[in-house]
Chain A
Amino acid sequence: MSTLTRQQVLDLYFLAARHQLIEIAAFLDRVDRARGEADFRLEAFRAALRQLESAPADRAQAVLMAFSDPTTEPLPRAPGKGAVGAWPGPARAAA
């Protein structure tokens, strides 16, 4: 269904993508300048960033999977209602 050329995609989305990329860079700088320890979300974020270069295609899917709980067993109880955006890993998830 896509009728756009690569040039047209760049014309439509390059500035927005550039803006979002700079926001990510500034976010990481902000985290670095801040005091205290980071939690598992930062490592998940860095792992997701690596998908941008290593995934040959389907980068959006690869990034989403980098943040996702890959397990298949239901939890014994819901630990609350909210989601934080990154899976903490099996040890933290069970805690």
Chain B
Amino acid sequence: MRYIEPHAHMVSRVTDDYVAMVTAGCAAVCEPAFWAGFDRRSPQAFYDYFCQLTEHEPRRAAKFGLPHFCWLCLNPKEAEDPGFAREVLAIIPEFLNRPNVLGIGEIGLNKNSRNELQVLEWHVDLAARTGQLILVHTPHLEDKYKGTRLTLDVLRADSRIRPERVIIDHVEEHTVQMVLEGGFWAGMTLYPETKCTPARAIDILERYGPERLWLNSACDWGVSVPLIVAHTALEMRRRGWSAAAVDRVLYQNPLQFLSQSPRFKLPTAAEAPV
């Protein structure tokens, strides 16, 4: 099998994870900018992080034959200080032309505050001005429903935003319909304790169809499973899905969305190092 991991925080993972993912059929990994687990103390710390995402991590992934792409932003968990956020956003354009950068993400809301909303609007404006794809994080647990609605309001209010160039991630049963009905792409994150399980994600796919949906592990420094997309392929087969239907969701769908960026190019079979 083959799959694309469209959301993984590989800077938090060990090389064994790269080995396992490539062995399982991972053809590319995409890494949104993320919260480090603690607040960075200066915009310069973000500069270093963006260098890590655009220089160091792609080199580390390449050692295992895995193309690495990334998204850049200030994560919503650090968006409560608008002045600080302004300084970080000013850094981002310098990195947007780097060869593995796909767009602006993962932006969005965390606790649904006014400051987070303001910073989200600034990110959306930056993406619109520079013609970037957008990857949106939706809030956790009790905050997800409200945050998803507020996010959709922001995106719909900006006439420059084309929904087919926006993926809204971490949808669950109570948010997927509003995202898809808005014309956006929707991502389902497979976690052991929160967000979706493989079985529930497949339920959603069977209910809404495979259009504009992708699956990801969002593996990071917390409880998460780097191979869970591959595990879900096995669950799909147990549920009677054909190999072609699995490939459609796990490989072709992310390929379709991500190929809207001219930088998302995968090596042909003949070019692939492994």
Residues of A within 8 Å of B, CB-based: how many?
32
Give Cα A2 to B242, complex, Å. 11
Choice from A12, A68, A78, A80 contacting B142 with Cβ under 8 Å = A68
From B14-22, B61-69, B180-188, B204-212, give the one contacting chain A: B204-212
CB-defined interface of A55-95 with B at 8 Å, one 1/0 digit per residue? Answer: 00010110011011111101111111111111100000000
Give Cα A51 to B143, complex, Å. 19
Given contacts A4-B240, A12-B239, A84-B142, contact A68 B112 (CB under 8 A): no
Query: Nearest-CB distance from A92 to chain B (Å)?
Result: 11
Which residues 169-226 in B have Cβ within 8 Å of A in the complex? 172-174, 199-200, 203, 205-206, 209-210
A-chain residues with CB within 8 Å of residue B206 when the two chains form the complex = 1-2
Interface residue tally of chain B, by bracket? 35 or more
Give Cα A59 to B113, complex, Å. 29
A76 engages B174 (CB within 8 Å): no
A74 engages B113 (CB within 8 Å): yes
Give Cα A65 to B149, complex, Å. 13
A-chain residues with CB within 8 Å of residue B145 when the two chains form the complex = 64-65, 68-70
Give Cα A72 to B246, complex, Å. 37
B150 engages A74 (CB within 8 Å): yes
Which of chain B's residues has its CB closest to A67's CB?
A: B142
Asked if A7 is at the interface of the complex by the 8 Å CB criterion, the answer is no
Choice from A1, A12, A65 contacting B210 with Cβ under 8 Å = A1
Asked if A54 is at the interface of the complex by the 8 Å CB criterion, the answer is no
Choice from A12, A74, A83 contacting B117 with Cβ under 8 Å = A74
Interface positions of B (Cβ within 8 A of A):
35, 77, 80, 110-117, 139-146, 149-150, 172-174, 199-200, 203, 205-206, 209-210, 238-241, 245
The 9 closest A-B pairs by CB, nearest first: A78-B111, A3-B240, A83-B141, A83-B140, A68-B145, A78-B113, A64-B174, A61-B173, A2-B206
